[in-house]
Chains A and B, each alone.
Chain A
Amino acid sequence: MKQFLKPATRKSFITYLLVIAAFIAVEIMVSTGNASNMFKGLLVPFCVYSVAAASLNLTVGILGELSLGQAGFMCIGAYSSAIFSIVTKDTITSAWVRFPVAMLIGGISAAIFGVLIGIPVLRLRGDYLAIVTLAFGEIIKNVFAALYIGYDSSGLHVSLTSQGDLGLAPDGKMLINGALGISGTPKDSTFEIGFAVLLITLIIIYNFVNSRTGRAVMSIRDNRIAAESIGLNITKFKLITFGLTAFLAGIAGALFSHNLSTLQASKFDYNLSILVLVFVVLGGIGNIRGSVIAAVVLTYLPEVLRSINNYRMLIYSIVLIVMMIFTSNAKIRGFFTASFMKLKGLIIKNKSAKEGE
C-alpha cells in the first residue's frame, strides 16, 4: 500500500472513504427507521457546514490568511441560486437539471464577488484582512436585507427602499422582499445531493492542494519573500485561492437556501462566519478532514443537547474548550499518539505471538 500511494494521496482517499462510509451508515439508519426527525432535519445542514468549513480551510489553512467573510459569500450563493430556481421553477421542471445549474450560478456569482473583493483586500494581511473581510460580509448581508426585487410583464424592478417603491404590476411577483427575504424556493436540497456536493468539494480541495497551484499557495503561506524570489506571482495565487473559497462557499449557500422555504439575509451574519471559522480551527487549521468532522460534530451537538435546555450552552462551551486543548496542546496530543502506538505495538505483538504458537 505504502509503495504505490503517496502520503498526500492516501490522506485524501481516507477522507473520501470516511465520508462515503458515513453516508452509507446514515442511509441505512434512515431506511431502517432508526433516525429521529431531528437527525433527518440536520442531514443537509451537515453537508452545508462541512462544505463551508472545508472551503474556508483553503483560505485559512492553505493560504494562511484569516477571512471572516464566509457568511457573505454563502449569502450571495444562497440568494443568486434561489432567484434562479424561483424564476425557472415553471420552465425547468426537473430538479435534477435545475438544482445543479442553480448551484453553479450560486458558486460563480460568489466567486466573482470573491475575486472583486479580493483584489483590494488581499493586499492586507493578518488581523487587518480579517477585519475587512468581516466588514464585507456584513455589507453583503445588509445590502440583501435592504433589497427589493420583483418582476412582472414589463421586466425586472429593483428598489432599495420599500416594496411599494417597486411599482410592480398586479400580476407581478416578488423575488426578494427586503428583510423578509426570499420565499418559495423549491426544496431541492436532499441529503443525497448534499453528500455528492461534499464529496466533489473534497475532491476539488484535495486536488487543488496537491497540485502546482496548491504548492505555490503553501509556499506563499510559509514564506512570502522566498516565494517571490522564485518567481511566484503572489497576487494571482492569492486571488485564485480566495476565489475558489468563495465559489465553494456560494455552493454551500445554494445548498442552504434550497433547504428552506423562506430565507432571510439575517441568517448570514457574522455569527455564521465565526461559527464556520470555529469548525476550521477546531478541526485543525490546514486539516480538511478535521474541518468536516468538526462541522458535523459541532452542528449535531447543540441539537442533541436541546433536551437539557438549561445546560445546553454550558456543555457546548465545555466541549469546545476540551477540543481546543486536545487539538492544540502538543503534550496531550503526544500522549494519545504514544498510547495509540503502544496499543498498535501490543496488537502486532499478540498477533506474532499467536502465529508463533
Chain B
Amino acid sequence: MALLEVKKLGISFGGLRAVDDFSMTIEKGQLYGLIGPNGAGKTTIFNLLTGVYKPTDGTIHLDGKNITGKSTTEINKAGIARTFQNIRLFSNLSVLDNVKAGLSNRYSYSTATGVFRLPKFFKYEKQMTERAMELLRPFDLQDDADTLASNLPYGKQRKLEIARALATEPKLLLLDEPAAGMNPKETAGLMNTILTVRDDFGVTVLLIEHDMYLVSGICEKLSVLNFGQLLREGPTGEVLADPEVIKAYLGE
C-alpha cells in the first residue's frame, strides 16, 4: 500500500485556482521530488498536505488513513512533518530546546509534573535530552546544542529544522527547498544528509527543490507542477528529459 495517496486535490483562493486536479502516490521509503516553475503551487501543495490550508476538492490519505481537512497538529501526530521555505525556527530557544520542543508529544508529561518536579519530570527530561542529542548528531549539530537557534549560521539552521521535524517521528518528511541559498559544497553535504536521514530514520521524503543537481542526484521519482496542474510524473531521468518539462522551465 502506498504511504501517501493524493487524489484530485484542488484549492481555490477566491477566483484563483492555485492547485487543480492534482494526484500523487508516494511509496514507503521513496525519495520523491516535486518541481515546477515559481508560482506553480508547490508550497501550496505542502500547505494542503500539512493542513495549513483546507482543500476545496480531493482527498489525502496517509498510510490508508484519511487526513483530508484535519488540523496541522493532528496531521503531525498522524505522521507528517515538514520544514519551511523561509526558515521557521524557535529563534530564542537553544538548538537543543528546538529539538526537545519537537519531542514534546513523544515524551509527554503534565504541566503539574513539570511545576512540582515529580520524578517523571527528571526521567523524561533526561530521555528527551539523550534523544535530542541523537537527533542532532547526524546533522553535525551536537556541539552547538547550547547555542541560540538564531545565532546558528544559515546552513545549520536548515539542518536544525530537519532535525526538529524528525523529532516528531514522522512517516513522511516534507522538505521545502532545503538547498535554497546553499553553495554547491553545502548542497552536496545536504544530499548526503537527506540520504542518511531516509535510510537511518526510515522516513519517506518528499521535497520541493529548484536545484536540479540535487533533484537529479537523489530523487527517485518526480512530479512536475505547472500553473497548479500536474504536467508530468515519473522516474527522475525520464521526466527531466521531457520536452514539455524543459519548455515549462525555460520557455520556448
Residues of A within 8 A of B (CB): 7, 204, 207-208, 210-216, 218-219, 221-223, 225-234, 240, 244
- Whether A207 contacts B77 in the complex (CB less than 8 A), given A223-B88, A230-B164, A231-B168, comes out as no
Interface contact B114-A216, CB-CB below 8 Å: no
Interface contact A218-B90, CB-CB below 8 Å: yes
- Whether A232 contacts B114 in the complex (CB less than 8 A), given A219-B90, A222-B93, A226-B90, comes out as no
**Cross-interface CB contact of B52 among A208, A212, A225, A227, cutoff 8 Å:** A225
B7 → chain A, closest Cβ, in Å?
23
Write the B110-140 contact mask toward A (1 if CB under 8 angstroms, else 0).
0101111100010011001000000000000
Interface contact B167-A230, CB-CB below 8 Å: yes
A210 to B121, CA, bound (A): 11
Number of interface residues of B (CB under 8 A): 41
B209 CB–A CB distance under 8 Å: no
Q: Which residues of A contact B111 (CB under 8 A)?
A: 208, 211, 213, 240, 244
A239 → chain B, closest Cβ, in Å?
11
A231 to B71, CA, bound (A): 9
B154 CB–A CB distance under 8 Å: no
Q: 8 tightest CB-CB pairs across the interface, nearest first?
A: A211-B114, A231-B76, A226-B88, A222-B90, A228-B72, A219-B101, A213-B111, A230-B102
Which of chain B's residues 79-109 have a Cβ closer than 8 Å to chain A? Answer: 81-82, 84, 88-93, 97-98, 100-102, 104-105, 107-109
Interface contact B165-A222, CB-CB below 8 Å: no
Interface contact B93-A219, CB-CB below 8 Å: yes
Interface contact B52-A230, CB-CB below 8 Å: no
Since A223-B88, A232-B73 are in contact, a sample of 5 more A-B pairs with Cβ atoms closer than 8 Å, ordered by chain A residue number, is A212-B114, A213-B111, A215-B101, A222-B91, A232-B104
- Contacts between chains A and B (CB distance < 8 A), count: 100
B178 → chain A, closest Cβ, in Å?
15
A283 to B127, CA, bound (A): 35
Interface contact B90-A207, CB-CB below 8 Å: no
A46 → chain B, closest Cβ, in Å?
24
B50 CB–A CB distance under 8 Å: yes
Interface contact A214-B114, CB-CB below 8 Å: yes
Interface contact B92-A229, CB-CB below 8 Å: no
Interface contact B104-A229, CB-CB below 8 Å: no
Interface contact B93-A229, CB-CB below 8 Å: no
- Whether A229 contacts B82 in the complex (CB less than 8 A), given A212-B124, A222-B92, comes out as yes
- Whether A233 contacts B73 in the complex (CB less than 8 A), given A215-B93, A218-B92, A223-B90, comes out as yes
Interface contact A228-B73, CB-CB below 8 Å: yes
- 24 A-B residue pairings within 8 Å (CB atoms): A212-B108, A212-B109, A212-B114, A213-B111, A213-B114, A215-B101, A215-B104, A218-B90, A218-B93, A219-B98, A223-B89, A225-B52, A225-B72, A225-B84, A226-B89, A229-B81, A229-B165, A230-B102, A230-B104, A231-B73, A231-B76, A231-B105, A231-B168, A234-B73
Q: Which residues of A contact B115 (CB under 8 A)?
A: 204, 207-208, 211
A229 to B89, CA, bound (A): 11
B70 → chain A, closest Cβ, in Å?
12
- Whether A226 contacts B84 in the complex (CB less than 8 A), given A212-B109, A231-B76, comes out as yes
Interface contact A231-B90, CB-CB below 8 Å: no
- Whether A212 contacts B104 in the complex (CB less than 8 A), given A219-B93, A230-B81, comes out as yes
Interface contact A229-B50, CB-CB below 8 Å: yes
- Residue in chain A with minimal CB distance to B102: A230
A227 to B101, CA, bound (A): 8
Q: Which residues of A contact B98 (CB under 8 A)?
A: 219
B248 → chain A, closest Cβ, in Å?
29
Interface contact A222-B124, CB-CB below 8 Å: no
A219 → chain B, closest Cβ, in Å?
4
Q: Which residues of A contact B84 (CB under 8 A)?
A: 225-226, 229
Q: Which residues of B contact A229 (CB under 8 A)?
A: 50, 72, 76, 81-82, 84, 88, 165
Interface contact A215-B73, CB-CB below 8 Å: no
- Residue in chain A with minimal CB distance to B116: A207
**Cross-interface CB contact of A230 among B91, B92, B125, B168, cutoff 8 Å:** B168
A216 to B97, CA, bound (A): 9
A233 to B71, CA, bound (A): 10
Interface contact A231-B114, CB-CB below 8 Å: no
Q: Which residues of B contact A228 (CB under 8 A)?
A: 52, 71-73, 76
- Residue in chain A with minimal CB distance to B113: A211
Q: Which residues of A contact B71 (CB under 8 A)?
A: 228
Interface contact A231-B92, CB-CB below 8 Å: no
Most buried by B among A212, A229, A233, A244: A229
Interface contact A207-B88, CB-CB below 8 Å: no
A221 to B93, CA, bound (A): 10
A214 to B146, CA, bound (A): 17
A64 → chain B, closest Cβ, in Å?
10
A218 to B98, CA, bound (A): 10
- Residue in chain A with minimal CB distance to B101: A219
B224 → chain A, closest Cβ, in Å?
25
Q: Which residues of B contact A232 (CB under 8 A)?
A: 73, 101, 104-105
A226 to B87, CA, bound (A): 9
A283 to B218, CA, bound (A): 52
